[in-house]
Homo-oligomer: A and B are copies of this chain.
């Protein structure tokens, strides 16, 4: 068992223990889940819209994202996922996926068969509750994204998504104090915010000129967190951090 997998599992267990009074059997059952490690190249599919899932995936390293396409081929990104996230837990409960999940970078995944997950959910209700909360937070983030694309202008949208990345990457241990590496093209940002790549570029330039962010390739530095937060109207309540770390 490679080191990082161990770390990710332990972090998950700590997270779950915050949410319900787990007993030793819960811990055992969680670690006894069957899984296969898989290493994927950037852009490979985990789930395809219209299919039913055979596995749920725990991200060990790398990033993934979910998206949907409209009839006329426009893509909307629905969420990004970081190491420690259980992607597509809903796949084990819903018969058919309504969206697609793809790796964003090279990634290592622990694939867990949905059958084993369902069994775990019925056998260990407290674990099920803890996992349920993962999906609830996921939903809360989705709702904040509705606000993002529905109410904020381009500057606010980009600022907001940068704030969200800052929080979530820090929690995943992928961010230093000075900033973070964001392995995402401007096209991804555009599809996540409902803007065009051209306008994302302009907006990032503006944010940079205003001193709200600094960039070095895809490394994002945030010189003044409070200023960026207020440009974004960012309120981290929706991340439910009390359910994620102590």
Q: Is A238 an interface residue (CB 8 A)?
A: yes
Q: Are A76 and B150 in contact (CB under 8 A)?
A: yes
Question: 8 Å CB contacts to B: which residues of A99-114?
Answer: 99
In the bound complex, residues from chain B placing their C-beta under 8 Å from that of A230 are 71
A38 contacts B by Cβ under 8 Å: no
Write out the residue numbers on chain B whose beta carbons fall within 8 Å of the beta carbon of A185.
none
Chain B residues near A187 (CB-CB < 8 A)? none
Q: Point out which of A94, A133, A138 has the most chain B C-beta atoms below 10 A from its C-beta.
A: A94
> What residues on B are CB-neighbors of A75 within 8 Å?
151
Q: How far apart are the CA atoms of A35 and B153 in the complex, in Å? A: 43
A227 at the binding interface (Cβ < 8 Å): no
Supposing A70-B151, A139-B139, A194-B151 touch, asked if A132 and B132 sit within 8 A by C-beta, the answer is yes
State whether the Cβ of A135 lies closer than 8 Å to any Cβ in chain B: yes
Taking the closest CB of chain B, its distance from the CB of A108, in whole angstroms, is: 26
Residues of B within 8 A of A133 (CB): 93-94
CB distance from A145 to the nearest CB of B (A): 5
Report whether B233 and A71 are in contact in the complex, using a CB–CB cutoff of 8 Å. Answer: yes
| Most chain B C-beta atoms within 10 Å of own C-beta, residue among A128, A143, A193 | A143
Q: Please give the distance in Å from A101's CB to the nearest CB on chain B.
A: 12
- 13 A–B contacts, CB within 8 A, in A order: A70-B147, A74-B151, A75-B151, A94-B240, A95-B243, A98-B143, A98-B237, A121-B128, A122-B129, A128-B132, A142-B143, A145-B146, A150-B194
Closest 5 CB pairs of A and B: A150-B194, A139-B139, A71-B233, A98-B238, A125-B125
